[in-house]
Amino acid sequence: MSACAGVPIEDAVPAGALDGGPTAPIDGVSPPVLRNTGRYPNLNVPRQGAANQFSAGETNAKKGELRRSASGQAQIAKEPGIAPSELERLRELGETHGKDTLKKIEGE
């Protein structure tokens, strides 16, 4: 415990954690208005969203885009990437390579 007593807090904590947060305003974001009233906060106040919601048309456009992307990926997955003869050669190579590698690892 005494080893920790000689370390100043500035060395133990990242510099960003000690300041009060960002000093420059962020475009399009207004900081929340907070007041210490000495009472519990009113949680019944409706909150505002940080971003605008999609309209019905935008939602349908995004869903269509996702469907097209998914069907395109499914089509690519159906296409054979490796010729059957090459696939068989790779399987045989994998079997022999695995055995050879185990022999090298075991020192045989």
Q: Mind listing the pLDDT tens digit of every residue in the chain (108 residues)?
A: 555 566 777 777 766 666 655 556 667 667 777 777 788 878 888 888 888 889 999 999 999 999 998 888 877 777 767 777 788 888 888 888 888 888 888 886
Is 52 within the bounds of a domain?
Answer: yes
Is 16 within the bounds of a domain?
Answer: yes
The total number of structural domains in the chain stands at 1
Q: What range defines the domain where residue 77 resides?
A: 9-106
d(CA 66, CA 74): 12
**Contact by Cβ (8 Å): 62, 54:** yes
Alpha-carbon distance values, 23 to 13, 27, 33, 67, 74 (Å): 19, 13, 16, 43, 48
**Contact by Cβ (8 Å): 60, 52:** no
d(CA 41, CA 35): 10
